[in-house]
Amino acid sequence: MNQQAGKFSRLGFVLSATGAAVGLGNIWKFPYITGVYGGGAFVMVYLVTILLIGASLLIAEMLIGKRGQKDCVSSFEELAPPDRKGWKYAGFMLFTGLVIMTFYSVVIGWIFYYMYLAIAGLPTTIESAKGTFDALYAHAPFLQIFFHLISVLFVAYVLLGGIKKGIEKTNLILIPFLLFILLGLLVYALNFDGFAKAVSFMFAPDFSKLSAEAIIRAVGHSFFTLSIGIGSILTYAAALPKHSNIYKAGLMVAFMDTLIALIAGLVIFSFLFQFGGTPDKGPGLVFVSLPVIFAKLGTLGQGIAFIFFVAMAVAGLTSAISLVEPAVMYLEDRLGWVRKKAVLWSSLLYFLIGVFVIFSISDGFKAPFTFGTKSLFDVLEFAVDSFLMPLGGFLIAIFVGYVLKREVVESELLGHMGNTVFKIWYFSIRFIAPLAVLFLAYNALKV
Ligand code: TRP
């Protein structure tokens, strides 16, 4: 463990892990896939998956980090029995974080641009909003690179401070701030007639709308939203003090993540139903439909839009930090680099690939970065969603369920969980989670 980096406080850890979990996945993706897949029934599957599989895996990943006390690769190596040290290669799941960042940071950049638009003037019709988004997405690569760079620099700056002065401090400030904004928006939306419609859209399940594809998306998203399977949570947990209760911390993080996704969904759908929009607009929901609604509300709307995009940027940035830290910690602890050098090279790497990702969606630049019909952006996102993250989740489940001795696992959890909960959790890790992941990977490859 790196001495300078220090240890988290209990609250610092829970808020930082919440910061990792709560991201664009909650505020951008969850509402739009809920809209696309028809609401209530989809939300129900999502909630059950979080409870049965997501939370269990989250706790399992925390366990590896907390017991290992080292970077992702070394923690696996340390805990594996002497004849199975090859498990250290599982630790290379940490590179997935950099892969995710090549597009995640680009999307954070779009949000910065929309913060600017909120002040400068929002589009007032759906047509012009589509045009505005398209002008950014497909026709302004250098503007995107500029905003992507700002996000890279912010994340690098926080990472330079290490666990205590960088990551913990940032999350201690930003996560309560984010909650405050979202609760404020929720209270505002409570006054709308649209609020009741939003509640019934999200919570009254209509199972006839539930397709197999919807189930796959719900399971996949539950991994993504809890930040499972790439060593982020593991790396944070490696900086936990000895006697921390990872059961309680894990539940807390899963709860906060779910709560924030639901609040974001309620806020967005209340605005939509109140001011006449439909929920099934896909990825453009927050970049196309919402701005038009905000624009209708005049100056007040501009203010709300600005606050909303600030919240989204905060959610994204605190996640981004957790996506890069595993690589930084690895370079530092395992290869003995100083933190500055580790931050510099990891940031540079995903920044540059991010530039190619931007070119891959920009008219006039995309040709070299297009594979068949898919842009580099699509290819990377697909690889992460359907292969890299499920693989990471699978390895974590197998490692904790079968490779680690039961006594080790028990010593970390039994006292906190009690017998019955422990049994359910252990069963989930050994059987339900690996099967769910295989199901996910199998289905993803079919499409
Ligand atoms: N959970 C974040 C979101 O919902 C994204 C994220 C951050 C993530 N760290 C991660 C996803 C680690 C997978 C693994 O936006």
**Residue with token string 């701005």:** 291
d(CA 112, CA 352): 19
The Å distance, Cα 101 to ligand 1 centre, comes to: 10
Q: How far is CA 409 from CA 8, 141, 381, 400, in A?
A: 22, 49, 33, 7
Q: Which amino acid is at 427?
A: F
d(CA 165, CA 4): 10
Q: Which of residues 91 and 2 earns the better pLDDT score?
A: 91
Q: Does the beta carbon of 225 lie inside 6 Å of ligand 1?
A: yes
Q: How much is the pLDDT for 445?
A: 74
Q: Does the beta carbon of 21 lie inside 6 Å of ligand 1?
A: yes
pTM, full prediction: 0.94
Q: Does the beta carbon of 232 lie inside 6 Å of ligand 1?
A: yes
The Å distance, Cα 209 to ligand 1 centre, comes to: 28
| Tokens, residue 57 | 């895996």
Q: Which amino acid is at 386?
A: S
Q: Does the beta carbon of 313 lie inside 6 Å of ligand 1?
A: no
Q: Which of residues 276 and 398 earns the better pLDDT score?
A: 398
| Tokens, residue 142 | 């250098």
Q: pLDDT tens-digit profile of 408-446?
A: 999 999 999 999 999 999 999 999 999 998 888 888 777
d(CA 326, CA 71): 7
Atom 14 of ligand 1 has which residue's CA nearest to it?
227
Q: How far is CA 352 from CA 139, 347, 349, in A?
A: 19, 9, 5
Chain center to CA of 190: 27
Q: pLDDT tens-digit profile of 199-234?
A: 999 999 989 888 888 888 888 899 899 999 999 999
Lowest mean pLDDT among 193-197, 263-267, 272-276, 414-418: 272-276
Q: Does the beta carbon of 26 lie inside 6 Å of ligand 1?
A: yes
The Å distance, Cα 214 to ligand 1 centre, comes to: 20
Helix axis angle for 55-68 and 389-398, nearest 10°, is: 70
pLDDT bin (cut points 50, 70, 90) of residue 363 is very high
**Residue with token string 């988004």:** 133
Atom 6 of ligand 1 has which residue's CA nearest to it?
227
| Tokens, residue 2 | 């790196």
16 contacts 322 by C-beta, under 8 angstroms: yes
The Å distance, Cα 114 to ligand 1 centre, comes to: 22
Instruction: Write out the chain in H/E/C secondary structure.
Output: CCCCCCCCCHHHHHHHHHHHHCCHHHHHHHHHHHHHCCCHHHHHHHHHHHHHHHHHHHHHHHHHHHHHCCCHHHHHHHHCCHHHHHHHHHHHHHHHHHHHHHHHHHHHHHHHHHHHHHHHCCCCCHHHHHHHHHHHHHHCHHHHHHHHHHHHHHHHHHHHCHHHHHHHHHHHHHHHHHHHHHHHHHHHHCCCCHHHHHHHHHHCCCHHHCCHHHHHHHHHHHHHHCCCCCCHHHHHHCCCCCCCCHHHHHHHHHHHHHHHHHHHHHHHHHHHHHHCCCCCCHHHHHHHHHHHHHHHCHHHHHHHHHHHHHHHHHHHHHHHHHHHHHHHHHHHHCCCCCHHHHHHHHHHHHHHHHHHHHHHHCCCCCHHHEECCEEHHHHHHHHHHHHHHHHHHHHHHHHHHHHCCHHHHHHHHHHHHCHHHHHHHHHHHHHHHHHHHHHHHHHHHHC
Q: How much is the pLDDT for 3?
A: 45
**Residue with token string 């012009």:** 128
Q: Does the beta carbon of 25 lie inside 6 Å of ligand 1?
A: yes
d(CA 98, CA 103): 9
d(CA 273, CA 277): 6
**Residue with token string 């989740």:** 393
Q: pLDDT tens-digit profile of 37-56?
A: 999 999 999 999 999 999 99
Q: pLDDT tens-digit profile of 273-314?
A: 999 888 888 888 899 999 999 999 999 999 999 999 999 999
Q: How much is the pLDDT for 303?
A: 97
Q: How much is the pLDDT for 447?
A: 60
Q: In the predicted model, what is the mean pLDDT of residues 341-370? A: 96
Radius of gyration of the chain (CA): 21
Q: Provide the residue count of the chain.
A: 447
The Å distance, Cα 276 to ligand 1 centre, comes to: 31
Atom 10 of ligand 1 has which residue's CA nearest to it?
227
Atom 11 of ligand 1 has which residue's CA nearest to it?
227
Q: Does the beta carbon of 35 lie inside 6 Å of ligand 1?
A: no
Q: Does the beta carbon of 235 lie inside 6 Å of ligand 1?
A: no
Counting ligand 1 atoms within 8 A of each CB, the residue from 32, 230, 324, 381 with the most, and so the one to mutate, is 230
Among 57, 62, 11, CA closest to 235 = 62
The Å distance, Cα 375 to ligand 1 centre, comes to: 22
Burial class (CB in 10 A: 0-12, 13-18, 19+), 354: buried
Atom 13 of ligand 1 has which residue's CA nearest to it?
227
Residue 392 Cα: closest atom of ligand 1: 14
Domains and CATH numbers, the chain: 10-446 (1.20.1740)
The Å distance, Cα 224 to ligand 1 centre, comes to: 5
